[in-house]
Amino acid sequence: MKKLYGILCKAEIIVCGVGFIFLILFVFMSAILRFFRVSMSWNIDLAMLLLAWTAFLGADIAWRSGQLIGIDLLTRYLPKKLQKTVSVLIYVIIFCTLVVIAVYGCRLAWTERLRTYQSMPIPYSIVTLSLVVASASMAVSTIGKIKKIIIYFNEKSEKDAAR
């Protein structure tokens, strides 16, 4: 299971990186073509699609690697046991929020399945699915964070009890 999760994480990083490169290329190409008075509206639509996917997948990558901003001004002065308890509680709230986002994102994707881009025959629900995929991936990452805190907390308590 860990190997599959690792493969999915690496695939997510690759997809996000490639999507970001194409996003930059499409926006740059659109600007250059606009300078020569050639209008290609599908470039901007495709760039918006890639922006949604790269932003949400990038958020999961940052969440998983601990690169999102956090404020521990209040919790840093609490006892270690209470710090871990508050962290787990916050992660559970985040997990529940991500599940709600994923469920309602699925419902939104279903209602937008018939809506298409103005310049491309691609359903707009593909953009909405980026939120669903990223929320589900972030929920899995959050479960990993909760598991890590609980395992570390249990190991530390066993070491303290042995003293």
Q: What is the DSSP string of 78-139?
A: S-HHHHHHHHHHHHHHHHHHHHHHHHHHHHHHHHTSS-B-SSSS-BTHHHHHHHHHHHHHHH
Alpha carbon separation from 52 to 5, 64, 106, 132, 157 (Å, rounded): 23, 18, 16, 11, 43
* Angle made by CA atoms 86, 139, 75, in degrees to the nearest 5: 15
Summarize the confidence of residues 112-135 as an average pLDDT. 87
Global confidence as pTM: 0.83
Summarize the confidence of residues 26-33 as an average pLDDT. 88
Could you give the percent of the chain with pLDDT greater than 90?
50
* DSSP letter, residue 68: S
Q: How far apart are CA 34 and CA 41, in angstroms?
A: 10
Residue 71: the pLDDT is: 73
Q: How far apart are CA 13 and CA 21, in angstroms?
A: 12
Copy the structure tokens of residue 125: 């629900």
CB 88 within 8 A of CB 53: no
Smallest Cα–Cα separation from 31: which of 18, 44, 21?
Answer: 44
Alpha carbon separation from 56 to 18, 21, 98, 145 (Å, rounded): 14, 15, 12, 19
pLDDT band at 156 (very low <50, low <70, confident <90, very high): low
